[in-house]
Structure 1
Amino acid sequence: MRVPKLVDHVERRRAIIAAAWRIIADRGIDGINMRDLATEAGYTNGALSHYFSGKDEILRTAFDYVIESTNERIKRSIDRRSGRKALRRMCFEIMPLTDEAKLEARIAVSLWQRAITDPQMVAVNNTAVAAWKVRLAELWREAITAGDLPDRDVEVGVEALMTMMIGLQVTAALGPDGLTRKAQLAMLDSVLGG
């Protein structure tokens, strides 16, 4: 009697998305096709259809995973911190300061191209950015209350902060050198005003 092979559906989906990340980071969103993705993931082209309905679902899931990965790092990094320390830690996880964050920036910037015409991806992006803004504003207000940052219009500050971090992601995606960690942190301190 032959025992059927157990397949971890979630793990296979993650492996396919990891392969998609590698291709997108290397070739951009236009460089991904199902045949190359199957080869990169170590599956047959037909096997991909057991896990995803098509390329659009793969790209949407890859985008979801970028945001989930960033959110997980933010949660771990902030931990029990509050105020200015937590605010800076959250920014560190969105900014392309590490190799992992630079890779995610390359993927996110490539996927933003698709999001322009994909309402589902726009919704995912806008929901994530809105949640980040809310959390950044909470932490900024905590820092002001604690006397760790000067009193100012927090909403304007958060908009400047998000714009800076997205700009840093684009800069990292467009050039292998991007800005140094020191330069990025100096920009962060400049926006925070302290």
Structure 2
Amino acid sequence: MPKVIDHDQRRSDIIDVTWGLIVKGGLEAATMREIAAEAGFANGALKHYFPGKDEIIQGTYERALGMVSSSVDQSVDGKTGLDALRAILYATAPLTPESITAGRVLMSFWERALSNEELHESYRKHLVAWRSGLATYIAQARAAGEIVTDTPDEQLVDEIVVVNAGANIMSLLAPDLSTPELLTAQLDAFFDRITRR
């Protein structure tokens, strides 16, 4: 009787391997040859599960986003306004080993997305959705009198996105200059500034 292959599990295993290679050596370490070797496949066998490397990178990126989304969902559950905004910022910041690792995978994806229109559009959709969520919670907090700064909402959204992206990059390139303690202090200062009367 022929062996039944769980294709979804195989794809998940390939993403696990790709994740590990990216974490160890960046995107350049995750070649098709290395992924196949680490996953225990013969060369060319990966095409049974993914059409090419971009699709494997996309799957790995979605895994990283899934980790972040899960953390955000748990943190925000039942919260609105300022409480929800605070939960999102701390949940998406590189403050734990897991979030720093996810940031490394995301940074590799950003590099690949610069030269691949489909991956670029995928990230853009995520960014638009993230910005929309931030804007919603900021508007709720403003309406509740929790946010009192004169800084326009759209500018606050921009500031959050730029600080988050920069923090993820710094946590990898200069971790001694961007420790979780320093980043936490920066986030605390941000919330103090926008809520100070």
TM surpasses 0.5? yes
Give the stretch that moved more between structures: 4-13 or 134-143.
Answer: 4-13
Deviations 1:67-124 (A, max 9, x none): 2332232122211111111111111222111111101111111221111111111111
Q: 1:156 to 1:99 in 2, by over 3 A?
A: same
Structure 2 alignment gaps of length 5 or more: none
Partner of 1:68: 66
Which runs of structure 2 are paired with 1:90-169 in the superposition (5 Å)? 90-152=88-150, 153-169=152-168
Contact 1:64 1:124 in 2 (8 A): no
Partner of 1:186: 185
Letter in 2 for 1:169: N
Distance in 1 between residues matched to 2:175 and 2:42, nearest whole Å: 32
Deviation at 1:125, TM superposition (A): 0.9
C-alpha distance 38-183 of structure 1, shift in aligned 2 (>3 A): same
Q: Which moved more, 1:107-116 or 1:5-14?
A: 5-14
Q: Deviations over 1:117-154 (max 9, x none)?
A: 11111111111111111101111122222232224311
1:12 aligns with 2:48: no
How many residue pairs get aligned? The number is 192
Matched position secondary structure for 1:45: coil
State the secondary structure of the residue aligned to 2:44: helix
Q: Offset of 1:41 from its aligned partner?
A: 2.2
CA distance in 2, matches of 1:86, 1:42: 43
Q: Does the CA-based 8 Å contact 2:81-2:141 persist in structure 1?
A: yes
Between 20-29 and 146-155, report the one with greater CA deviation. Answer: 146-155
Kindly indicate whether the alpha-carbon contact (under 8 Å) linking 1:109 and 1:173 is maintained by their aligned counterparts in 2: no
| CA–CA distance in structure 2, aligned partners of residues 166 and 51 of structure 1 | 31
Once residues 8 and 73 of structure 1 are traced to their aligned partners in structure 2, the CA distance between those partners, rounded to angstroms, is 28
CA distance, structure 2, for counterparts of residue 177 and residue 14 of structure 1: 34
Instruction: Return the offset for 1:178.
Output: 5.5
Q: Is the alpha carbon distance of 1:164 and 1:37 closer, same or farther for their aligned partners in structure 2, counting shifts above 3 Å?
A: same
* In structure 2, distance between residues paired with 1:64 and 1:189: 29
In 1, the alpha carbon distance for the partners of 2:175 and 2:80 equals 33
Q: TM-score, normalised by structure 1?
A: 0.90
Residue 29 of structure 1: aligned partner: 27
Instruction: State whether residues 171 and 179 of structure 2, in contact with CA within 8 Å, keep that contact through their aligned partners in structure 1.
Output: no
Whichever residue aligns with residue 171 of structure 1, its letter is M
Distance 1:44 1:174 in 2: 35
The equivalent residue for 2:76 is: 78
Unaligned stretches of 5+ residues in structure 1: none
Residue range with higher mean Cα deviation, 158-167 or 93-102: 93-102
Structure 2: which amino acid aligns with 1:161?
A: I
Identical positions, percent = 32
Compute the RMSD of aligned alpha carbons: 1.7
Cα shift at 1:5: 2.3
1:160·1:191 contact (CA, 8 Å) conserved in 2? no
1:60/1:121 contact within 8 Å kept: yes
User: Cα offset for 1:176?
Assistant: 4.6
How far 1:179 moved relative to its partner?
2.1
State the distance in 1 between where 2:174 and 2:5 align: 39
